[in-house]
C-alpha cells in the first residue's frame, strides 16, 4: 500500500492511499480519515460509497465529514467508484457507465468482467486491507453513500446484515433495475436476464426476504433525478411491507449536489455513531 498524502484535520489524519487491487486488476485509490481517538485504540468505521462520475475525492473535498467524525470518534473510508486505467474498458462519452460508474456490482459480461468487480472490492478486498493497515474495529462497521453509492450501501447492508450496525443514504437509487440511468448499466455488466439484477436492487432484495433493522434516507425535493432515477417512495413501500424501519427525510428545496450532502452529513454520522457504540 502506497501513501499518496496525509494531512492533519480536526485533530485526526486525512489520508489518501493507493494499492494494486487483485479484484479489479488495476491500481485503486481510497481515502481514510482517522479521528484523534484512533491514536489510543481502535475506532468504529463508517464506509462511504460515492455516486456516478465521482472518485474518493468528492466526499473528501466537499462532504464536510471530518468535524463530526472527530467528535464521535468514527473513521471514514471512501473507496473509488470503479476501476480505472488505460486497459480498463470504458465508454468515455457515457457518464452513466464505465469508469466512475461501476454500480458496486461484479460484472459477469465480457469485457467488463475482468475489471468491474466493485462488489468484491468494497466487501472483501478493501475491508481486509483496511483492517490490516488501520486501527479500526471491524466489529463496529456502518455504511452509507450517495446516489449510486446509496444504492451500493443499501444492497450491501441487506446482503450483509451481520456485518453492519448502521446503513443510511443520500438520494439513493432504490430500484436500479427499472431506473433509466442504471438499467442500461446492469444490462452491460450482468447480462439481459433481469433475475440476475435482483441481488443488486434494494427493493427486490427486500421483496426476496433480505432484511436490515433500519435505514436513514435523506432526499432533496429539488433533485432533478428524483422522479426518474431515485424514487425513494419505492423503498418506503418495500420497507413498510417488510416491517423494516425507515426514516425518510424529504428535504425541501435541496438538489442532488454536495451542497445537499454536506448539509446533512453531521446527521448521518451522528445517527451511525449512536449505533456503532
Give the integer Cα–Cα distance in Å for 251 and 17.
34
Q: Domain holding 201: CATH number?
A: 3.40.50.1820
Positions in the chain whose pLDDT score sits under 50: none
Cα-Cα end-to-end distance for the chain: 29
Residue 55: the pLDDT is 98
pTM of the predicted structure, to 2 decimals: 0.97
Residue 260: the pLDDT is 98
Give the integer Cα–Cα distance in Å for 224 and 257.
10
Say how many domains are in the chain.
Answer: 1
Residue 160: the pLDDT is 98
> Which residues belong to the active site?
147, 223, 256
Give the integer Cα–Cα distance in Å for 143 and 76.
9
Q: What is the pLDDT of residues 55-66, one digit of tens each?
A: 999 999 999 999
Residue 252: the pLDDT is 98
Residue 230: the pLDDT is 98
Q: Which domain holds residue 9?
A: 2-276
Q: What is the pLDDT of residues 27-54, one digit of tens each?
A: 999 999 999 999 999 999 999 999 999 9
Burial 24-39 (b: 16+ CB within 10 A, else e): bbbebbbbbbbbbbbe
Residue 242: the pLDDT is 98
Amino acid at each position: 500500500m502506497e501513501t499518496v498524502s496525509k494531512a492533519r484535520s480536526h485533530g485526526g489524519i486525512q489520508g489518501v492511499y493507493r494499492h494494486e487491487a487483485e479484484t479489479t486488476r488495476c491500481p485503486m485509490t481510497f481515502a481514510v480519515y482517522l479521528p484523534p481517538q484512533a491514536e489510543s485504540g481502535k475506532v468504529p468505521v463508517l464506509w462511504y460509497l460515492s455516486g456516478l462520475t465521482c472518485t474518493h475525492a468528492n466526499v473528501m473535498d466537499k462532504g464536510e465529514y471530518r468535524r463530526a467524525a472527530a467528535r464521535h470518534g468514527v473513521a471514514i473510508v471512501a473507496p473509488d467508484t470503479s476501476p480505472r486505467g488505460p486497459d480498463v474498458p470504458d465508454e468515455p462519452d457515457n457518464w452513466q457507465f464505465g469508469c466512475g460508474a461501476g454500480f458496486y456490482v461484479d460484472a459477469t459480461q465480457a469485457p467488463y468482467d475482468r475489471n468491474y468487480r466493485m462488489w468484491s472490492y468494497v466487501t472483501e478486498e478493501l475491508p481486509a486491507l483496511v483492517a490490516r493497515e488501520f486501527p479500526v474495529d471491524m466489529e463496529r462497521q456502518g455504511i452509507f453513500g450517495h446516489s449510486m453509492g446509496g444504492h451500493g450501501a443499501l444492497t450491501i447492508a441487506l446482503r450483509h446484515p451481520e456485518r453492519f450496525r448502521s446503513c443510511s443514504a443520500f438520494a439513493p437509487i432504490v430500484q436500479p433495475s427499472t431506473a433509466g440511468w442504471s438499467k442500461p448499466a446492469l444490462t452491460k455488466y450482468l447480462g439481459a436476464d433481469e433475475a440476475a439484477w435482483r441481488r443488486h436492487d434494494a427493493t427486490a432484495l427486500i421483496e426476496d426476504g433480505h432484511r436490515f433493522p433500519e435505514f436513514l434516507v435523506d432526499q432533496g425535493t429539488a433533485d432533478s433525478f428524483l422522479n426518474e432515477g431515485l424514487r425513494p417512495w419505492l423503498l418506503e413501500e418495500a420497507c413498510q411491507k417488510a416491517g423494516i424501519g425507515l426514516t425518510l427525510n424529504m428535504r425541501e428545496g435541496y438538489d442532488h449536489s454536495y451542497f445537499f450532502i454536506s448539509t446533512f452529513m453531521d446527521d448521518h454520522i451522528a445517527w451511525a455513531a449512536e449505533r456503532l457504540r
